[in-house]
């Protein structure tokens, strides 16, 4: 069975590597100390601190595995050799959503998307609608909030 490929920018890969390093070298040790301290409280069957620490440990280990898997199957976007005439993965696009201010968005893979940081997945309604459009093009996307019309104002790498 083929593994899912994770599309990442070089910046996204670096952020994941930084998070992985912190989880392995800092967070793991902190959680281990919490478990050790909770054990010192005695009876583990009714020890809420111990249960909480063990749950935190499971979450940390799960996230470590998730990041390692994503990095193993990552496809890093080479933005240096991409045509900037149209919107593609890794580019920044300035759009004007109808009824809203214009803003810059980076088109990224779904695992790197973060709307609060203006990083739109190429699989999201607006990100997908932007793909392969040139500067000046208008488009519409069907979103959970309804149909949104927008215009591509500029594209850059």
For the domain spanning 6-76, the CATH number is: 1.10.287.180
- The 10s digit of each residue's pLDDT in 71-103 is 999 999 877 776 778 999 989 999 988 778 899
Residue 2 pLDDT: 53
Residue 40 pLDDT: 80
> 112 vs 19, 24, 95, CA distance in Å?
13, 20, 20
Residue 43 or residue 17, greater confidence: 17
Cα separation, 34 vs 43, in Å, equals 15
Whether residue 51 has pLDDT greater than 90: no
Pick the most confident of 3-7, 10-14, 24-28, 139-143: 24-28
With a CB cutoff of 8 Å and minimum separation 6, the contacts of 5 are: 73, 74, 75
User: Average pLDDT of 15-28?
Assistant: 96
Please state the domain extents for the chain. Answer: 6-76, 79-156
For the domain spanning 79-156, the CATH number is: 3.10.50.30
> 68 vs 72, 73, 80, CA distance in Å?
6, 9, 26
Residue 157 pLDDT: 82
Whether residue 1 has pLDDT greater than 50: no
């Amino acid at each position: 069975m083929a593994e899912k490929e994770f599309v990442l920018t070089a910046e996204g890969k670096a952020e994941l590597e930084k998070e992985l390093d912190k989880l392995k070298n800092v967070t793991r040790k902190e959680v281990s100390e919490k478990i050790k301290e909770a054990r010192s409280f005695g009876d583990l069957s009714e020890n809420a601190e111990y249960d909480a620490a063990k749950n935190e440990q499971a979450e940390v280990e799960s996230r470590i595995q998730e990041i390692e898997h994503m990095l193993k199957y990552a496809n890093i976007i080479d933005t240096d050799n991409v045509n900037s005439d149209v919107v593609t993965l890794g580019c920044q696009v300035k759009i004007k959503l109808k009824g809203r201010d214009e803003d810059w968005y980076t088109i990224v893979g779904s695992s790197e998307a973060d709307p609060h940081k203006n990083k739109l997945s190429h699989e999201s309604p607006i990100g997908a609608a932007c793909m392969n459009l040139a500067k000046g093009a208008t488009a519409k996307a069907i979103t959970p909030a309804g149909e949104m019309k927008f215009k591509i104002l500029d594209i850059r790498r």
